[in-house]
Each structure stands twice: as C-alpha cells, then as structure tokens.
Amino acid sequence: DPKIIQKPKYLVAVTGSEKILICEQYLGHNAMYWYRQSAKKPLEFMFSYSYQKLMDNQTASSRFQPQSSKKNHLDLQITALKPDDSATYFCASSLRTGGKDTQYFGPGTRLLVL
Amino acid sequence: GEKVEQHESTLSVREGDSAVINCTYTDTASSYFPWYKQEAGKSLHFVIDIRSNVDRKQSQRLTVLLDKKAKRFSLHITATQPEDSAIYFCAADTGGLSGKLTFGEGTQVTVIS
C-alpha cells in the first residue's frame, strides 16, 4: 500500500485559476514537506511543517499556501496560477525536521497550467 | 544559501563496472547528505545517506564518501546492473530545524549491457 498519497496524479489548469494539491502520509511521521521539480530548475524546496506548524517557507510568492488540517495531511493551495507554475509537485515526510531523518517522497502531482 | 553542485550530468558505464557521482556543497553548516534515485516518470526513491560524523558509509553495492574539508561527497556504485539506470540526485541539508534539502541537478546514469 502506498504510504504517501498525492492527489490528483495529473492536473491541467487554466491561467488565473486556483487548485489544491492533496498530500496524506501514513508513515507516522511528524514532519511534512513540499518540493517542486520543473524542467527549468532542479528540485526546489518550498515548505516544511513540523507537528502542523510551519518551519520554513522558501517560496517567494504568497500564491502558494500550505494547509495542514491533520498531522498527516499537508495540502498545497495555489492561487492565480501561471504557466510558470507548471511542474511536478512532490510531497515528502520524515520523522522530524531537525533530526537529519530520511525524507520519503510521494508519487507527485504533475501540474500543467495553460 | 546552500548550493549543491553535481558535477556529472550524464554517466555511461558498462554493466559490471563502477560508477562515481561527485557533488560539492557550500554551506559549512550542512551535516546531512542523502542520495535519491529517480526512474523515468517516477518519484524520488531514497538510496543512501551520510551524516557528518562519519566519512564513509556502505550499503550493499553503494558507498558514500564525505570530505568535509573539501565540502565534497560522492556516490560509488559497484558492479552496476541495468536496473541502476536512473537519474541520481545528491542533496544537502541546511542545518537548523527547517529540514530543507538542497538538491543537485541530477546525474543520468545509463548502464550499458
């Protein structure tokens, strides 16, 4: 059974719209992350959460808003979508944020903004 | 901020030979260095890591070496097999409580039978 679930697998959106990317982990981890992978840049850290609290935000834009309704959920809301937002978004989790623990990655959501 | 440079963008090796991927980092506060494997169209799969309290770690056919003075670490794959073909990413943490990993740009490893 997959331990990190990301929904949807693929997403096509129009410029200016808003989408929510879903992530749930069943590893019993306390830390969750979002990373982005695009053709133009290497894997890029976006956010980290620990016990549902924001630990780090490296996104330059407030259009990206993480939402944690439960300890094992970390969704990503993206507003006013732009074509440059097209990328694969990976959710990851680890036991803790500061403990140098292995981060396990979900299958990703591939977003295409037209 | 931390920068991680992955020196080989592509690497072709004959089946059974060894492959070496080299990375350098800039932040002296980095103390955790994982490696990930990504097959075409798939997610990142953790393969091995090393922490700064050691300079070598081995797991089956994989060995990671860390040279803190040179801020360099490397992944050695011995007795390569076709299933080792993938993109390999090195990464470094940033210290502190963030958990942020900074990734290199990836090395496409192709094992030729």
Residue A91: closest C-alpha in chain B: B43
Q: How far apart are CA A31 and CA A39, in angstroms?
A: 27
The verdict on a CB contact (< 8 Å) between A98 and B101 is no
List chain B residues with CB under 8 Å of A31: 99
* Minimal C-alpha gap between B44 and chain A (Å): 6
The string of DSSP letters for A80-104 reads S--GGG-EEEEEEEES-SSS-PPPE
Residue A90: closest C-alpha in chain B: B43
Pick B43's closest partner by Cβ from A48, A97, A106.
Answer: A106
Of A106, A99, A40, the residue nearest A76 (C-alpha) = A106
Confidence bin at A97 (pLDDT 50/70/90): confident
C-beta neighbour count of A107 within 10 angstroms: 17
C-beta neighbour count of A32 within 10 angstroms: 31
Q: What is the pLDDT of residue B95?
A: 78
Residue A56: closest C-alpha in chain B: B98
List chain B residues with CB under 8 Å of A100: 31-32, 51, 93
Tell me if chain A has a CB within 8 Å of the CB of B25.
no
Task: List pLDDT tens digits, range A22-66.
Answer: 999 999 999 999 999 998 888 999 999 999 999 999 998 999 999
Range of weakest confidence among A12-26, A33-47, B11-25: A33-47
Q: How far apart are CA A55 and CA B56, in angstroms?
A: 30
Q: What is the pLDDT of residue A39?
A: 87
* Minimal C-alpha gap between B24 and chain A (Å): 15
The whole-chain average pLDDT of chain B stands at 96
Percent of chain A with pLDDT over 90: 89
Q: How far apart are CA B10 and CA A48, in angstroms?
A: 31
3 state SS of A83 = helix
